[in-house]
Amino acid sequence: MVKTTQEKTGSGYISFKALKTCYAKLWSYGEICVGCGCCSKDVRKRQKARLEYWKWWLEENLNFNNWIDGWRETQVRNVKNNIKKAKIRVKYYERACQKNAPRQV
């Protein structure tokens, strides 16, 4: 059985637990699958979802303003590392999405 995030059953929805290998743990908190598509079996859908995820993560870190007294130095270092990693991932998935895009005939 293929597990989907929410299976429509009449007027209610069934939620599924996030996989241990959940790619978007920041969205699901590792608890409930949010149906982002990052774990999709379809390569195009998975790459597109992961690109969206990394763009979101980059934006979150670029706009970070939740500084804690006494921890700012550590937070600055972590935010810089997050931005660096996110830029690399965004570039990678942009290329992957272009490479696997349907060809125009």
Distance CA 27, CA 10 (A): 26
pLDDT in tens, 20-52: 888 888 887 778 888 888 888 899 999 999 999
Per-residue pLDDT at 9 exceeds 60: no
pLDDT in tens, 76-103: 999 999 999 999 999 999 999 998 776 6
Three-state DSSP at 47 gives helix
* Residue 89 · residue 54 · CB < 8 Å: yes
* Residue 32 · residue 60 · CB < 8 Å: no
Burial (CB count <10 Å: 0-12, 13-18, 19+), residue 87: middle
How is the chain split into domains, by residue range? 1-37, 40-105
Task: Output the pLDDT for position 6.
Answer: 45
Task: Output the pLDDT for position 33.
Answer: 85
